[in-house]
Structure 1
Amino acid sequence: MTRLAAIVVTYNRLDQLTRTVERLLAAPEAHLARLLVVDNASTDGTAAWLAAQADPRLEVLRLEVNGGGAGGFEAGMRHLRDGMDPDWYLLMDDDGRPAPGALAAFHGNDRSSREGWAAAVTYPSGAICEMNRPWVNPFWHGRAFLTALTKGRAGYHLSDAAYEADTPTPIDGTSFVGLFLSRDAVEKAGLPDPRLFLYGDDVLYTLSLTALGGRIAFDPALRFEHDTLPFSPGTEPLRPLWKVYYYQRNLLLAYRKAAGPLFFRPLLLMVLPRWRRAAALYGADAEAYARVSARAVRDGLARRRDLTHAEVMALAEG
């Protein structure tokens, strides 16, 4: 029997976590052998609620400090790898959950042809969740590169038609919401980098897995729900301000990984002016935004990942 273990990373969102845990544990043991909840030092009653649950498949890993999504997934994957050693890992945030029947669909097909499978993630309304739309690396595929020059993001992310297709689509990267990873994938790519804290950890991880020879595919039959709000970083401010640091630094790390030395510098000429203009979105906080952004860019270009979360928050606070 294929043993699937789910990892849910949570921080102070008990209302979302309860729905996700209940949805997962509604699956039979044959479809879900273990559910590991990584509690990022929540203070909203999460620990007490988890302690009251009776399903023996539920395991809780409580961290002493909030390690962000990256730290949570790293700790969870390490814990399972060194203990249970499942055949497959399933990753998600506390506000992401499989649609009814998704785990049955995963087990209903031979998954050995790929090291990773990405789910079709939608909002509760049924609309495609853009932040979780899988993609191919345009710097590895000539056709995608040319299309990206004219269509931008749409040129290298999967089309809506892929979500309605009858067959899987090969991809290079995806998010950690509804990502199935095999034991072989973890052996190839290791664990996510906990120093990233937030944003881009999934991009860098899946891109690295593909670069190391891992094969990932998008399967529209694997349906996931992401109960979150849309976010457009180019048209609205990112709050709290400390998130700007992780968003921009980690994107630079991801851009370098994706583009390579030939295309990274030209890419900067597009990205950096856009980030400078974004200061106008922050009103009275424009100066603080500029300070955080400048440090993020400096560290991203230097490939520094050693700033602690406390230091990042202090930077944002001035």
Structure 2
Amino acid sequence: MSDMARLSVIIVSYNTRDLTLAAIRALYENAGHPFELIIIDNASDDGSADAIEDEFPTARLIRSSRNRGFAGANNEAARYATGDALLLLNPDTEVLPGAIDRLMALRAEWPQAGVWGGRTIYADGTPNPASCWRRQTLWSLLVQATGLSSLARRSQLLNPERVLKLSPSEPTPVDIVSGCLLLIDRALFERLGGFSPRFFMYGEDADLCLRAQAAGARPIVHADACIVHHGGSSERVRADKLVRLITAKSTLIQVHFPRGQKHLGLALLAAWPLSRMLAHRLLSGLGAHRYREQARAWSRVWSRRGEWLAGFPEPVA
């Protein structure tokens, strides 16, 4: 296998033409390490596929006839990869100089990890805390449901799922590496069967990493591997997104929690949107009108509790 084929970079595009083009430009400009690029377009209607093909004719472009979601699209693209390492990269990211080199060096230094990630920042340089996570537990669900996690956001005790600080010199062990920048051994990805088709969007990276750990992997991240991630930097509370997020959390509880903890875990998860709805209604009623929109959003989420408590349906064989 040639050095060029050692790394396969996969980008899933869906109606993000300008962001995707910028992400690809940054990748070519700053990657350093040789790679092959595979882009799968999820049936975008904004001209993404044509624009990508025109500007980057040497990249492999897969035009999907339907929106496969993040999980399904990455699984499809991985079938065409020839590298022994797969780098999953979001279309709303910009690779910074040295990031890919550091990830590949991290893989060489810590091969037992199986899954590697880096640090993400917003476009203004401020930290984006969503590059890695620790797994859900009954304690993390409890502090989220009671609102204690919001009262002390810099407390590791009250925000146990968040990785609040990455070591500047050593890799940090984590449970979950965000799919926006996730390097995984291709052999491990194939052994796991790729992403679970049960997860269309949200939760698929958590499920993959938790299954990888069960198979013996020990995911790590390093602060030196840094990218810009635009997603979520100014996003408002939206009911549909929250429903998808909570549905993913519910599914992860059903799949990965010990049998004796599943029911309590789901009850604590349900208490989160309920408490948020009641708190925002109270604040709005007391005259804090800026909470009115959030109160409406959380009310819509709560009205759909039957949907998200059930979790994502099992895929049809």
Contact 1:67–1:194 (CA under 8 A) maintained in structure 2: no
Cα distance in 1 for residues equivalent to 2:28 and 2:234: 30
Q: Does structure 2 conserve the Cα–Cα contact (< 8 Å) formed by 1:134 and 1:218?
A: no
2:62 equivalent to 1:53: no
Matches within 5 A, 1:247-262: 247-262=245-260
Q: For the structure 1 residues 153 and 21, does the alpha-carbon distance in structure 2 shift closer, same or farther, using more than 3 Å as the test?
A: farther
Residue aligning to 1:155: 160
Q: 8, 13, 18: which one pairs with 1:15?
A: 18
Aligned counterparts of 1:68 and 1:87: Cα–Cα separation in 2? 24
Deviates more, 1:278-287 or 1:262-271: 278-287
Residue 114 of structure 1, CA deviation:
2.3
Unmatched 5+ stretches in structure 2: 139-148, 150-154, 282-292
Assess if the C-alpha contact under 8 Å between 2:196 and 2:204 holds in 1: yes
Q: Give, in angstroms, the shift of residue 283 of structure 1.
A: 5.9
Match of 2:71 in 1: 70
Residue 48 of structure 2 aligns to which amino acid in structure 1? T
Q: Which SS does the other structure have where 2:176 is aligned?
A: coil
**CA shift for structure 1 position 278:** 4.5
Which residue of the partner structure matches residue 39 of structure 1?
41
- Shift in Å, 1:88: 0.6
Q: Measured at CA, do residues 15 and 264 of structure 1 come closer, stay the same or move farther in structure 2, by a change above 3 Å?
A: same
Q: Which amino acid aligns with 1:296?
A: W
Cα distance change, pair 191–108 in 1 and its aligned pair in 2 (3 A)? closer
1:170-221 residue CA offsets vs partner (Å, 9 max, x unmatched): 2221210111101232133221123421111111111111111122111222
1:251 positional shift: 0.8
> Does structure 1 conserve the Cα–Cα contact (< 8 Å) formed by 2:134 and 2:160?
no
Please state if 1:295 is matched with 2:307: yes
Please tell me whether the aligned partners of residues 123 and 129 of structure 1 are also in contact (alpha carbons under 8 angstroms): yes
Distance 1:189 1:198, change over 3 A: same
AA of the residue aligned to 1:305: E
Give distance in 2, aligned partners of 1:14 and 1:183: 27
Offset, 1:4? 0.6
What letter is aligned with 1:21? I
How far apart, in 1, do the equivalents of 2:57 and 2:105 lie?
24
What pairs with 1:98-247 in structure 2 (closer than 5 Å)? 98-108=95-105, 110-111=108-109, 112-135=111-134, 151=156, 154-160=159-165, 162=166, 164-230=167-233, 237-239=237-239, 241=240, 243-247=241-245
The one-letter code of the counterpart of 2:100 is L
Q: Secondary structure in 1 aligned to 2:227?
A: strand
| Structure 1 Cα separation of the partners of residues 70 and 62 of structure 2 | 14
* Runs of 5+ unmatched residues, structure 1: 140-147, 308-318
Determine if contact 1:7/1:92 at 8 Å carries over to the other structure: yes
State the match for 2:314 in structure 1: 305
Tell me how far 1:225 sits from its aligned partner: 1.3
Give the distance between the partners of 1:159 and 1:277, measured in 2 at CA.
Answer: 24
Name the structure 2 match of 1:143: none
The separation in 2 between residues aligned to 1:263 and 1:197, in whole angstroms, is 25
CA contact (8 A) 1:174 1:202 kept: yes
Please give the root-mean-square deviation of Cα atoms over the aligned residues, in Å: 3.2
1:244/1:292 contact within 8 Å kept: no
Measure the CA separation in 1 of the matches of 2:30 and 2:97.
9
Secondary structure in structure 1 of the residue aligned to 2:205: helix
Q: Is the 8 A contact 2:132 2:176 kept in 1?
A: no
SS in 2 for 1:204: helix
Amino acid at match of 2:200: F
In structure 1, what is the Cα distance between the partners aligned to 2:89 and 2:305? 28
Change (3 A) 1:54 1:184: closer
Moved more, 38-47 or 65-74: 65-74
| TM-superposed deviation, 1:129 | 1.4
Percent of counterpart pairs with the same letter? Answer: 20
Tell me how far apart the structure 1 counterparts of residues 104 and 117 of structure 2 sit (CA, whole Å).
Answer: 14
What SS does the corresponding residue of 1:79 show, helix, strand or coil? coil
- Among candidates 271, 274, 286, match of residue 276 of structure 1: 274
TM-score by length of 1: 0.78
Show CA shifts across 1:223-267 (max 9, x none).
1210123479xxx6325x2x3443222211112344322333222
**Which of 69, 84, 100 lines up with 1:87 in the alignment?**
84
- How many Å apart are 1:49 and its aligned residue? 0.7
How many residue pairs are counted as aligned between the two chains? 286
Aligned counterparts of 1:291 and 1:78: Cα–Cα separation in 2: 40
Query: Residues 124-182 of structure 1: CA distance to partner in whole angstroms, max 9, x if unpaired?
Result: 2222212323325658xxxxxxxx9x85563243232x2x4201122221210111101
